[in-house]
């Protein structure tokens, strides 16, 4: 059995999933939270017979290494475990946010790869250090296991230069690597592959726009199976309005505010990343469900927040259809994309000119299994596809390890 352990190490958390890649069955998944605190929490969800059961631990977990040690213990535990011992785990796949320009594909973990992840800390200071801590913890806890990293930026490395270079002096790119990198690559890649399967065509013959709409949100133009543009940029801040992030703004606003209100670097950072977006616009919440509730009660700022969110998505759909010279499939995914009937309705309304005709009934009846939600005669197929980054990371990890073993 090829069981792959997928790890996503955040600043104070480790999200994990153990999956049999031969049948895509999840054997266990869970989350270690509040790492660094005495009352850290582990929620472990495991397959017992045909059903899943849960166990919760509250423990003093001060480091990622300790968190992963507990996860490994749970996976092999006599009571709540799902494998006999560590030999039943084929390899470990890590989600890594930033691979810079060096990585267009997943990579087998070597010292050189770890050094490259370290170099990208400058570009992803909130993520890459913790991913590295996870890899190093596995190095010492399960040293004879193969490890693979799958980068969020890798899928977008196919963008043409005209899409990723900013209108700054070119030296800024050469000197500091300032360019569009794009994020959510694993999710965009996964849903695009699924969309092609559902459409029963080769991905290399399709033009797809994927809308990943969660707390973080981005749109991606995928032509011939390759990302050719995406709305996030040098950082995950630009593009769509998000839960708490601004999305696209005039960069001069930052200078203006620094001057007007004497804002410091930290204050500007908080303003742009934490106090803006749906939260800042509505003054209510970053949670789309909450905002929609208030819209229904007639709250005007909630209405404005939703209108801007929808408007920007439409903007990108139009722009990306233009640069691809057409569109075959529009995909909605992630928390809002998968769950909000209203959002999908609003985005697809008045898009008949482009060839988008949503089927109201199919849209309303969508229930967590990937599906086409446009009318049968809609020129562009609209799909709703639950994202599954873990599945893509697990299968890519097994593929890279298989390749290593053959070579
Ligand atoms: P992330 O992984 O970026 O943190 P998610 O993909 O989990 O985010 O998406 C979170 C967003 O999805 C939140 O804005 C939440 O309100 C929204 N969401 C979740 N369920 C629903 C629902 N049933 N209807 C509308 N929005 C939902």
Which tens digits make up the pLDDT trace of 232-290?
Answer: 999 999 999 999 999 999 999 999 999 999 999 999 999 999 999 999 999 999 999 99
Are the C-beta atoms of 264 and 307 separated by less than 8 Å? no
Residue 288 to residues 284, 304, 330, 341, Cα–Cα distance (Å): 10, 13, 21, 12
Residue 268 to residues 68, 216, 238, 264, 331, Cα–Cα distance (Å): 35, 19, 15, 6, 33
Overall number of domains in the chain = 2
**pLDDT, mean of residues 167-187:** 97
DSSP state of 60: E
CA–CA separation, 103 and 198 (whole Å): 29
CA–CA separation, 14 and 35 (whole Å): 8
For residue 176, being part of any structural domain is answered with: no
For residue 172, being part of any structural domain is answered with: no
Res 38: pLDDT? 92
Residue 387 CA: nearest ligand 1 atom is 6
Residue 334 CA: nearest ligand 1 atom is 6
Whether pLDDT at 147 is above 90: yes
- Give yes or no: residues 350 and 275 share one domain: yes
For residue 186, being part of any structural domain is answered with: no
Look at strands 207-213 and 329-333 and give their pairing. parallel
Res 64: pLDDT? 95
388 confidence band (pLDDT: 50, 70, 90):
very high
CA–CA separation, 113 and 149 (whole Å): 9
CATH number, domain with residue 52: 3.30.420.40
Any ligand 1 atom below 6 A from CB of 281: no
Q: Which two tokens stand for residue 99?
A: 């691979």
**Residues in a beta bridge with 356:** 380
DSSP state of 186: H
Residue 243 Cα to ligand 1 midpoint, Å, equals 9
Residue 13 to residues 16, 61, 196, Cα–Cα distance (Å): 10, 10, 34
Boundary (domain end) residue, out of 151, 184, 208: 151
- Which residues fall within 8 angstroms of residue 324, CB to CB, at 6 or more apart? 207, 209, 221, 223, 228
**Strand extents, DSSP E, 21-100:** 25-33, 37-48, 51-61, 91-96
Whether pLDDT at 407 is above 90: no
For residue 210, being part of any structural domain is answered with: yes
Whether pLDDT at 368 is above 90: no
For residue 78, being part of any structural domain is answered with: yes
Q: Which two tokens stand for residue 92?
A: 């470990």
Whether pLDDT at 367 is above 90: no
Whether pLDDT at 123 is above 90: no
Q: How many whole angstroms from its chain centre is CA 76? A: 29
Res 370: pLDDT? 94
- Which residues fall within 8 angstroms of residue 64, CB to CB, at 6 or more apart? 9, 14, 35, 130, 133, 134, 137
Pocket test for ligand 1, best of 274, 336, 338 (most atoms within 8 A of CB): 336
Domain of 99? 3-151
User: Which DSSP string do the residues of 109-153 spell out, in sequence order?
Assistant: --HHHHHHHHHGGGT-TTTHHHHHHHHHHHHHHSTTSEEEEEETT
- Give yes or no: residues 273 and 341 share one domain: yes
Residue 292 Cα to ligand 1 midpoint, Å, equals 12
- Give yes or no: residues 146 and 203 share one domain: no
Res 366: pLDDT? 87
Residue 278, burial from CB neighbour count under 10 angstroms (0-12, 13-18, 19+): buried
For residue 294, being part of any structural domain is answered with: yes
Q: Which two tokens stand for residue 47?
A: 């397959």
| Residue nearest to ligand 1 atom 27, measured at CA | 336
Q: What percent of the chain has pLDDT over 70?
A: 100
Query: Is 115 among the catalytic positions?
Result: no
Res 87: pLDDT? 93
Pocket test for ligand 1, best of 239, 289, 293 (most atoms within 8 A of CB): 289
Mean model confidence pLDDT for the chain: 96
Are the C-beta atoms of 209 and 221 separated by less than 8 Å? yes
- Give yes or no: residues 233 and 373 share one domain: yes
Q: Which two tokens stand for residue 366?
A: 């969508």
For residue 166, being part of any structural domain is answered with: no
The widest CA-to-CA distance across the chain, in whole angstroms, is 63
Residue 217 CA: nearest ligand 1 atom is 3
Any ligand 1 atom below 6 A from CB of 247: no
**pLDDT, mean of residues 299-322:** 98
Q: What percent of the chain has pLDDT over 90?
A: 95
- Give yes or no: residues 142 and 240 share one domain: no
CA–CA separation, 336 and 309 (whole Å): 11
- Give yes or no: residues 203 and 341 share one domain: yes
For residue 194, being part of any structural domain is answered with: no
125 confidence band (pLDDT: 50, 70, 90):
confident
**pLDDT, mean of residues 290-304:** 97
Res 1: pLDDT? 80
Whether pLDDT at 323 is above 90: yes
Res 294: pLDDT? 97
């Amino acid at each position: 059995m090829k069981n792959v352990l997928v790890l996503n190490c955040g600043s104070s958390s480790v999200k994990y999933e153990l999956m049999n890649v031969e049948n895509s069955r999840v054997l266990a998944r869970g989350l270690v939270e509040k790492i660094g605190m005495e009352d850290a929490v582990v929620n472990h969800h495991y397959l017992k017979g045909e059903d899943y059961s849960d166990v919760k631990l509250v423990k003093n977990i001060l480091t990622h290494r300790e968190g992963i040690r507990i996860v490994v213990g749970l996976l092999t535990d006599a009571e709540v475990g799902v494998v006999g011992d560590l030999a039943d785990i084929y390899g470990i796949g890590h989600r890594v946010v930033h691979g810079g320009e060096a990585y267009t594909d997943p990579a087998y973990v070597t010292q050189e790869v770890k050094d490259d992840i370290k170099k990208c800390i400058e570009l992803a200071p909130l993520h890459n250090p913790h991913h590295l801590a996870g890899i190093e913890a596995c190095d010492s806890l399960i040293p004879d296991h193969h490890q693979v990293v799958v980068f969020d930026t890798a899928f977008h490395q196919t963008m043409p230069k005209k899409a990723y270079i900013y209108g700054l002096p070119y030296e800024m790119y050469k000197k500091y690597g300032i360019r569009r990198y794009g994020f959510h690559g694993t999710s965009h890649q996964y849903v695009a592959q699924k969309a092609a399967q559902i459409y029963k065509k080769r991905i290399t013959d399709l033009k797809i726009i994927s809308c990943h709409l969660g707390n973080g949100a981005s749109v991606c133009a995928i032509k011939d199976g390759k990302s050719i543009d995406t709305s996030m940029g040098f950082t995950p801040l630009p593009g769509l309005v998000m839960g708490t992030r601004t999305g696209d703004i005039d960069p001069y606003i930052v200078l203006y505010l620094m001057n007007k209100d004497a804002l410091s670097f930290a204050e500007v950072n908080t303003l742009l990343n934490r106090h803006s977006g749906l939260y800042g616009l509505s003054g209510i919440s970053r949670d789309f469900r909450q905002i929609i509730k208030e819209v229904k009660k007639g709250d005007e700022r909630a209405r404005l927040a939703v209108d801007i969110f929808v408007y920007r998505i439409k903007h990108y759909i139009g722009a990306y259809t233009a640069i691809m010279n057409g569109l075959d499939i529009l995909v909605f995914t992630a928390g809002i994309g998968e769950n909000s009937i209203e959002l999908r309705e609003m985005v697809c309304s008045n898009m008949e000119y482009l060839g988008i005709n949503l089927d109201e009934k199919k849209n309303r009846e969508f229930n967590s299994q990937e599906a086409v939600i446009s009318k049968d005669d809609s020129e562009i197929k609209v799909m709703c596809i639950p994202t599954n980054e873990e599945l893509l990371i697990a299968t890519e990890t097994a593929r890279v390890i298989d390749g290593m073993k053959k070579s």
